[in-house]
């Protein structure tokens, strides 16, 4: 056998070995993708770890932060489009608060439930319609101007809220985890509401 034939044979064998290694690596990565979605995560002692829900910011409308609103309109919808929860058996509890301060204003504006999801870690969220003239949402009336902003907050917990504990209406059990999103609402009343204007 000439040295050219030997070199070609070695090159073919080397190429085949490389392809085999790449195929094995691909198979190993696919096996990782087939692992159970809700495999328990354990601490050093082997006890399961509860993972926190996560509100999907890209599906939150309006986006979290400062929101300019027209006080002459009647309402505004706020939506948590999706919530990610790795623990598929957890029920998610959602509470909405307007101007919550933990002392004089602890009222719950709305309660919602996101049921257990056995197929995917992403759950369809929930929405809240803020009524501008509602004494339940604004017991002290609607304030206008940047210096008088209101705050709206949605809290998502993977355990039911506990009554009689601090912070009032927001306390969750020690093993519970939560996520929250908030909006700073700045109302102005210098324009008519577009939806109320006649065409």
Domain at 74, CATH number = 2.60.40
In a domain, 109, yes or no: yes
In a domain, 195, yes or no: no
Domain span including residue 113: 54-188
Mean pLDDT value of segment 30-41: 49
Any bridge partners for residue 188, and if so which?
70
**pLDDT higher than threshold 90 for residue 51:** yes
106 and 29, same structural domain? no
170 and 80, same structural domain? yes
Q: Which is higher by pLDDT, 15 or 37?
A: 15
Mean pLDDT value of segment 35-43: 52
152 and 65, same structural domain? yes
In a domain, 41, yes or no: no
pTM over 0.85: no
Mean pLDDT value of segment 5-10: 46
28 CB burial (10 A radius; 0-12, 13-18, 19+)? exposed
**pLDDT higher than threshold 70 for residue 29:** no
Q: How far apart are CA 194 and CA 199, in angstroms?
A: 10
pLDDT at 4: 44
pLDDT at 134: 95
**pLDDT higher than threshold 70 for residue 33:** no
Mean pLDDT value of segment 3-32: 54
163 and 97, same structural domain? yes
**pLDDT higher than threshold 80 for residue 146:** yes
pLDDT at 24: 57
The per-residue pLDDT for range 148-180, each reduced to its tens digit, is: 999 999 999 999 999 999 999 999 999 999 999
Mean of the per-residue pLDDT values of the chain: 85
In a domain, 42, yes or no: no
**pLDDT higher than threshold 80 for residue 107:** yes
79 CB burial (10 A radius; 0-12, 13-18, 19+)? middle
pLDDT at 49: 86
* H or E element, residue 14: helix 3-33
pLDDT at 16: 63
pLDDT at 47: 74
In a domain, 161, yes or no: yes
Q: Which is higher by pLDDT, 29 or 65?
A: 65
Mean pLDDT value of segment 109-128: 92
Q: How many domains, in total, are found in the chain?
A: 2
Cα dist. 20→9, 17, 28, 30, 102 in Å?
A: 17, 5, 12, 15, 63
């Amino acid at each position: 056998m000439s040295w050219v034939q030997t070199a070609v044979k070695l090159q073919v064998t080397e190429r085949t070995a490389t392809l085999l290694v790449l195929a094995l690596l691909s198979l190993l990565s696919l096996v990782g993708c087939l692992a159970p979605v809700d495999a328990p995560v354990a601490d050093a002692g082997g006890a399961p770890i509860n993972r926190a829900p996560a509100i999907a910011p890209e599906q939150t409308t309006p986006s979290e932060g400062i929101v300019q609103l027209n006080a002459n309109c009647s309402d505004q919808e706020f939506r948590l489009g999706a919530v990610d929860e790795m623990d598929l058996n957890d029920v998610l509890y959602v509470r909405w608060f307007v101007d919550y301060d933990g002392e004089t204003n602890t009222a719950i504006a709305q309660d919602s439930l996101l049921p257990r999801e056995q197929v995917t870690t992403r759950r369809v969220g929930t929405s809240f319609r803020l009524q501008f003239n509602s004494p339940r949402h604004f017991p002290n009336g609607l304030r206008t101007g940047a210096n008088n902003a209101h705050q709206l907050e949605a809290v998502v917990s993977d355990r039911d809220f506990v009554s009689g504990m601090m912070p009032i209406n927001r306390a969750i059990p020690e093993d519970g985890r939560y996520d929250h999103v908030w909006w700073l609402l700045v109302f102005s009343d210098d324009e008519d509401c577009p939806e109320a204007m006649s065409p």
